[in-house]
Chain A
Amino acid sequence: MRRLLALLLILAAAAQMPAFAVEPDEVLADPALEARAREMSKKLRCLVCQNQSIDDSSAPLARDLRILVRERLKAGDSDAEVIAFVVDRYGDFVLLQPPFRPTTWLLWIGPAAILLAGIGGVVVWHRRRRSALAAEPAPLSDDEERRLNALLDEARPK
């Protein structure tokens, strides 16, 4: 019982502390703008750490980009305009989710396509095997029938 309680307390504490790197002096006064800034920051890659978003990363570049995102939001840019601003300077790699474009179709569709091809292959193989097993064997020729009977007579207990 006490262990269960301890576990619940730990989980509750963990739930209260999402990891992010936004510092108090960056937070915007307008909560709606700040919420948009946070959402957008989660989609932008920190190029120093490269597998963290700028929302999570404590690198100086991440902080600069967070401040930049907030400044552009305050200046009235739409979400798309802010993202475009950053992508224009840093390229597609700054987006944590690659854009869906002809150059990235293979990346997006590839895994699903290969999975479908694999499933298709298994289905085809299974069907062929089943029809091969279900097929009536050709009837025995007279010669083979005599040999079969001889073998069975040998095997039958005396």
Chain B
Amino acid sequence: MRPLHAIPLAGFALIALVFAVYLWQVGAGGKDISQIPSAMIDKPVPAFALPPIEGRTDGLRTEDLRGKVALVNVWASWCGPCRIEHPILMTLAREGVPVYGINIKDKPADAIRFLDELGNPFARIGADANGRVAIDWGVYGYPETFVVDATGRIRYRHVGPINPGQLDSIIRPILRRVAE
């Protein structure tokens, strides 16, 4: 084959290789291409101050998230996957990991009933009634969980419920790494 003829073929082979790798990642590798990376990684936690859920006295502010590695979980009682992930949060809370909650667009009675029924892993919960604070965090679906380090920087954002496999393969390693 003449050298000139080989050039388009080489170009095609290169592009095909890139596509093949990408397809493998999505297919066999289980990568979810609809998940977008967070724009808030390594940025400080946004300035916010959320009131407590009506009937409680805690609330959640930026200052609460400084001083130790913590998880911030955005949840609602009407969110199915939040319900499914809840036991994982209970496990982490029992192990001593500080877990904070942002309760999004929820009726106070429903949120309280959710916690009564499934347990309360949250050291503090802020009620984000109109979702504005969640937008400041770059949240686009529920649940989402953020890992915040001791200096108050967002280090990781997990989209969707944390399943037991991800707890061990993703969350725990990140908590360890960020604690150093």
**A→B interface (CB under 8 Å):** 47-48, 50, 60-61, 64-65, 68, 87-93, 114, 118, 121, 124-125
B-side contacts of A118, CB under 8 Å: 8
Q: Of B82-90, B94-102, B135-143, which binds chain A?
A: B135-143
Interface residues of B (CB under 8 A from A): 4, 7-8, 11, 34, 36-40, 105, 130-132, 135-138, 140-141
When distances are taken between beta carbons in the complex, the residues of chain A under 8 Å from B7 are 121
**B140 contacts which of A48, A88, A92, A121 (Cβ < 8 Å)?**
A48
Supposing A121-B7, A121-B8 touch, asked if A89 and B137 sit within 8 A by C-beta, the answer is yes
Contact of A89 among B8, B11, B37, B40 (CB under 8 A): B40
**Do A65 and B135 form a contact, CB below 8 Å, given A90-B140, A91-B39?**
yes
Are A47 and B140 in contact, CB atoms less than 8 angstroms apart?
Answer: yes
Query: Which residues of chain A have C-beta atoms less than 8 A from B140's C-beta?
Result: 47-48, 61, 90
Cβ–Cβ contact B138 & A89, under 8 A: yes
- Pairwise interchain contact A87-B132, C-beta atoms closer than 8 A: no
Known A-B contacts A48-B141, A61-B140, A121-B7; A91 and B131 likewise in contact (beta carbons under 8 Å): no
C-alpha gap A48/B139 in the complex (Å): 11
Please name all residues of chain A whose beta carbon is closer than 8 Å to the beta carbon of B136 when the two chains form the complex: 89
Beyond known contacts A64-B130, A88-B39, A89-B40: 7 more, CB 8 A cutoff: A61-B141, A87-B39, A90-B36, A90-B140, A91-B38, A121-B7, A125-B4
For A45, the closest partner residue in chain B by CB is B36
* Interchain CB contact under 8 A, B138 and A90: yes
Q: Which residues of B contact A124 (CB under 8 A)?
A: 4
Which residues of B have CB within 8 Å of A64? 130-132, 135
A89 to B, closest residue via Cβ: B138
Whole-angstrom CA separation of A92 from B132 in the bound complex: 20
- Chain B residues with Cβ under 8 A from A93's Cβ? 36
Q: Which residues of A contact B8 (CB under 8 A)?
A: 118, 121
